[in-house]
Amino acid sequence: MKGVLFLNGEPPEREELANVFSERKNKSVAAVYCTDGAYNYVKNVFLPDVIVGDFDSLNRNEVACRVECISFSADKNFTDGYLAVKIMAERGFTSIDIYGGYGGRPDMAESNYLLLVLAEQCGVKARLCGALNAYLVRGTFSLQLKKDAIFSVVPFTDNVHILYMKGLRYSLSDYTMSKTAFVANDDYIMGVSNASVGGRAELAVDGGAALVFVQE
């Protein structure tokens, strides 16, 4: 079961919102959730099914009565996005597209990558959606891409061992990427701004975890 979650970062383009609304109408998306701050831009295109948050960014009385509101105290140890992903996982969602995870406060934007880890640990497939979609990768990963589509790989854990990368302008095999070690070395590989040669791009990770940013 697929769901969509909107966060209070940089709002997606109106066209993307309209596409989600279309998917919700044809039921390829089972439900749309948003944090309280995100409701302010989502409502301009359609009403979400559920709002999750402490309602510090939204007056609950301004919310349409048919929208379910799940509120928490502002004095909490988790972000609204974290709580929303947990709730969606508990309600049986197996796939979540997360919008609005980029931009806004840099500390919040950085913490949103942890939502991919949270989803993984809850048994849910998730991606951060934007100009580049972000995936957390352990094991194998592949996508069908247009020629020249951006495909960037950066370490999420301290070290990540790349078994192989195929279908890209710059292939790679048996290489350990690091977030902190060897960065000043001349042979350090950053993994940013690689591109598809057209067709299926493949990545295999057999140690650690990588963030993959893809232009889809």
Q: Give residue limits of the domains in the chain.
A: 2-130, 135-214
pTM over 0.85: yes
Residue type at 80 in one-letter notation: D
Q: Specify whether the CB–CB gap between 212 and 150 falls below 8 A.
A: no
Indicate the pLDDT class of residue 177, thresholds 50, 70 and 90.
very high
Q: Is 94 exposed, middle or buried, given 0-12, 13-18 or 19+ CB atoms closer than 10 A?
A: middle
Indicate the pLDDT class of residue 120, thresholds 50, 70 and 90.
very high
C-alpha distances in Å from residue 175, one per residue of 112, 153, 162, 169, 171: 27, 12, 5, 17, 11
Residue 183: how many CA atoms within 13 Å on its side-chain side? 8
Structure token pair of residue 15: 């066209």
pLDDT in tens, 24-49: 999 999 999 999 989 989 999 999 99
Angstrom distance (rounded) from CA 117 to CA 123:
10
Q: Enumerate the β-bridge partners of residue 203.
A: 141, 165
User: 2-130 adopts what CATH topology?
Assistant: Rossmann fold (3.40.50)
Fold equal for 2-130 and 135-214: yes
Residue 197 has pLDDT above 90, yes or no: yes
| Three-state DSSP state, 37 | coil
Q: Enumerate the β-bridge partners of residue 68.
A: 50
Assign domain 135-214 to its CATH architecture: 3-Layer(aba) Sandwich (3.40)
| Mean per-residue pLDDT of the chain | 94
